[in-house]
Structure 1
């Protein structure tokens, strides 16, 4: 194995450790747990942990012998999440929507084969959502924000993403790629997405509108989530109108 290949392998393992530590939550993970989960040798695991500690992306947990994510990741994440000022401009929009309707609102963006939650504001009533929290991810194709993003995506890129996610969409959510594609023409015509019913959260619904730049590309989506009984025709109409106006407001501020 060449030095370049070894370096790439070490980088991949380091990111794998970070994801495992993140999944462990506040309690953290031990080197032994990380070693087993990553199928990595003990010396390599310890070496990578020490490198990650020196960079500030991993730190010791309160529980002796455990590791949690470091604060440097928070700083980097804040910068990454606002690289285009999208999160900064969308924050007051989410606040206004949540205060007006009392529902939970989200800012989501496409990230490869997934949808990433950049920001959210919880409403007055508890709600279940796929993103769950800032930084949460879901496969592209799941939820109304996916529809809003896919509908304005290049056809070749869209088809590649859905092809890659097809097995997960079918097995985990009960969604077929053909069903998703068939819904996109209506989404573009109406200007918003209502989501497709799946087996994970059948009791909840929502809406999403794309945030379109000057070139007509979807740079993100505003989404809301609420219990199905709350989604009356009048509420849907009010949500669509308000969210479309707020999406335009975000774009205007980004361009100013």
Structure 2
């Protein structure tokens, strides 16, 4: 074997190792994000089906660079401040906080519930903004939290807005894990539920993620008529047949869509290359959080 062949093989191996490490790091961040209370090395290694030594190597790199922190008491890993910084950077660039915070506060005051904006990230939702109730039955739905889409009102709404082809491809590659006794874990049942959501124009959940927490959700649309995010109200005392609450979140979603379009138009008028609606869709596709 020539020196050039040895060098080429080594470079290929390094690129493969880099890709594997990067894939593992992203998978670990997603798992830690979706698991409140932190996760251990052993738990992550088991879920990733990799040796604990390999998982430990990636965890140490993520901890050293600030993307994860580890509790000295529990030895469990949680998201670090670096991830929060990325999230704040994305939100700042999209103009989302200034565009929607006053609307979310108004919805929270009218409904008496928590109000959340989230996006679809493959088979999970990621929370971008929330206000209202500080906790829902002890669960803090904070910015950056990630939950299974099929177990939430906002997730089912966003799934229902996918094309039939994209939805089938997504469901074929995923398992519907039960998060509570009421979680839909049959793909046929979920498909029927999504068809009904498309017909109604809003989605509901009743204890499907956490018992006693109910949710109503509607889509946030861009100027091309595409869904870029979802808006939900959630709480233990929410009535799922409350017509006033449904009208309130529909009106709120329309106002948010309008403000996001205005923000994007203003940026374009300044010759800014950043489009808020495109950014939201890219944010969902690329799993920045």
- Taking the TM superposition and a 5 Å limit, the aligned residue runs for 1:85-234 are 85-123=95-133, 127-128=136-137, 132-168=141-177, 173-195=183-205, 197=206, 201-227=210-236, 230-231=238-239, 233=241
Q: Could you tell me which residue of structure 2 aligns to residue 3 of structure 1?
A: 14
Separation of aligned partners in 2, 1:200 and 1:68: 21
Measured after TM superposition, the shift of residue 171 of structure 1 is 9.3
* Structure 2: 5+ residue stretches without partners: 1-11, 263-289
Looking at both structures, which has the greater relative contact order when contacts are Cα pairs under 8 Å and sequence separation is at least 6? 2
TM-score w.r.t. the length of structure 2 is: 0.68
When residues 90 and 13 of structure 1 are mapped into structure 2, their CA distance, relative to the original with a 3 A threshold, is same
The C-alpha deviation readout for 1:109-153, integer Å capped at 9, x for no partner, is 1001211111222328x5349883322222222221122212221
Does structure 2 retain, via aligned residues, the 8 Å contact 1:57–1:73? yes
The alpha carbon displacement at 1:4 in A equals 0.6
Alignment-derived partner of residue 252 in structure 1: 258
Structure 1 residues 176 and 198: CA distance shift in structure 2, 3 A: farther
Determine if contact 2:204/2:240 at 8 Å carries over to the other structure.
Answer: no
Structure 1: which 5+ runs fail to align? Answer: none
1:34-64 CA-partner distances (Å, limit 9, x unpaired): 478546576x77865665466443567677x
Alpha carbon RMSD of aligned pairs, Å?
3.7
| 1:247 alignment partner, SS class | helix
TM-score, length-normalised on structure 1? Answer: 0.75
> 2: distance between equivalents of 1:49 and 1:159?
33
